[in-house]
Amino acid sequence: MARPKESAAKSVVILGGGIGGIAAANRLRRRLGSQHRITIINRYPEFSFAASYLWVMSGQRKPSQITRPLAGLQRRGIELVIGSIDEIDPINRKVTVQGTEITGDHLIVSLGADYSTASIPGLDQAGMTFATLKGAEALGSSIAGFDRGKLVILTAAPLYRCPAAPYEAALLIDAMLRRKGVRGQVDIELHAAEPAPLALAGSNVSDAVKEILRQHSIDYYPSHQVASAETGRISFTDGETEKFDLLGYMPPIKPPSALSTSALAGSTGWIDVDPNSLLTQFPGVYAIGDNTNIPLKIAKPLPRAGVFAHSQALVVADNIASTIKGNSPTATFDGHGGCFLESDFHRASYASGNFYADPSPKVKTKPPSRRSHLAKVVFEYNVMRRWL
Ligand SMILES: Cc1cc2nc3c(=O)[nH]c(=O)nc-3n(C[C@H](O)[C@H](O)[C@H](O)COP(=O)(O)OP(=O)(O)OC[C@H]3O[C@@H](n4cnc5c(N)ncnc54)[C@H](O)[C@@H]3O)c2cc1C
């Protein structure tokens, strides 16, 4: 049988230089010859690894250790455009970046999610978020100077990036205060908008996380939706109020602004994709990571997590490379993924499984161990040293 013939030079344009975008670009570069162009467009010239923000908060990392210039991609033959994407025309596979039009034979949309902190009046003034690098650093400094009172961790909406992160934040703060010898003088409360920790993963996982919180004397208040906040006080939608001395929060998210005028946005404002191929309704246009809406069998969306953005990136890159080489695209994203939950400075639990399982995700959790903590360190190492 004759080998399929590789097509003439093609271009792949990747929207967003976060976890999904960078993983896709690297994989494509390895799969495709240098005649094919791979371009990544990102608003900012630097990448920072969000999964390590909480290590910045806890003093285990400096911001410079988890930040890299995207320009490093150019050494690998990946073209880089720094600028804000204002419009996406999926029919013509064309994007407009500050007035300049860029067209690709294939588009991969990986623009993440925008924060909508302003949807909770007073929240940004009342507390600090650990969901940005600057916020995590600032909260860490405040905790370093905090030795008495009530510290509240809040999830400001049920939908946010990384379901484990607020729980991890509470546990790492507990570890920071213990190390300082002031834990006995600080009450830690976690008020969550969602009904249970990592609820999508099932009650086994939720119960395991609740037990870890209990062992660390962190008081947990689920289904407690914040309505507004002011200095020292939070008001909840059930009419209750809570005083605090220090507030750290996970902000709500909304679809990235570049989607607001694009036909790519589905009825939810996020991008609808085929759950296995990540292809949108537009030929040659794929979407991966946080900006997608992938309903699970339990009618909730696949969690926003870097581990999924990464796996999806590899599937999409492999299928685009196959198509360009004249082969059938056969790679499939099967819904498997895992999530680390750091429980102190040296140990993490690990919940992993199949989120596409029917009738509900099948996820198992491993109790806190040094091994899982080291696995997260290795993941971080690979991203920071091998991707950029
Ligand atoms: C505190 C915290 C801890 C986390 N921990 C973990 C963890 O342990 N494990 C895990 O799996 N996940 C974790 N996550 C989630 C993970 O970071 C995200 O799910 C992941 O980054 C999603 O990848 P992405 O490529 O979809 O989006 P992103 O990584 O957010 O990348 C999107 C990129 O698009 C760019 N962009 C957006 N709009 C435009 C525009 N208009 N023009 C140009 N560029 C634009 C952005 O600047 C950004 O660089 C964590 C998140 C947070 C906040």
What 8-state DSSP symbol labels residue 208? H
Does residue 6 carry a pLDDT above 70?
Answer: no
Query: What percentage of the chain exceeds 90 in pLDDT?
Result: 97
Q: Residue 335 has what pLDDT? A: 98
Q: What is the pLDDT of residues 95-123, one digit of tens each?
A: 999 999 999 999 999 999 999 999 999 99
| pLDDT confidence tier of residue 1, bands split at 50, 70 and 90 | very low
**In the prediction, which pLDDT does 8 show?**
87
- In angstroms, what CA-CA distances link 191 with 51, 99, 221? 21, 44, 5
> How crowded is residue 378: how many other Cβ atoms within 10 Å of its Cβ?
9
Give the integer Cα–Cα distance in Å for 58 and 50.
14
Report CA(318)–ligand 1 centroid distance (Å).
21
Could you give the CA distance from residue 305 to residue 339 in angstroms, rounded to a whole number?
Answer: 8
Give the number of other CB atoms < 10 A from CB of residue 251.
27
Take atom 38 of ligand 1 and give the residue whose Cα is closest: 111
Q: What percent of the chain has pLDDT over 70?
A: 98
> Is 97 a pocket residue for ligand 1 (Cβ < 6 Å)?
no
Mean pLDDT of 267-285: 98
Cβ of residue 127 lying under 6 Å from some atom of ligand 1: no
386 pLDDT band, cuts 50/70/90, is: confident
What pLDDT sits at residue 37? 98
Q: What is the DSSP letter of 32?
A: S
Peptide linkage before 367 cis (omega within 30 of 0) = no
Quick check: 302 pLDDT over 80?
Answer: yes
Q: Containing H/E element for 339?
A: strand 336-342
Which region, left, alpha or beta, applies to residue 105 given φ > 0 means left and ψ of -120 to 50 means alpha? alpha
Domain annotation for the chain: domains and CATH numbers: 11-113+255-336 (3.50.50.60), 116-253 (3.50.50.60)
Q: Is 349 in the pocket of ligand 1 (CB under 6 A)?
A: no
Question: For 307-350, how does the pLDDT look when each residue is reduced to its tens digit (9 = 90+)?
Answer: 999 999 999 999 999 999 999 999 999 999 999 999 999 999 99
Ligand 1 within 6 A of CB of 337: no
**pLDDT reported for residue 152:** 98
Q: Establish whether residue 21 lines the binding site of ligand 1, counting it when its CB lies within 6 angstroms of any ligand atom.
A: yes
The reply to whether ligand 1 has any atom less than 6 angstroms from the CB of 351 is no
Mean pLDDT of 62-74: 97
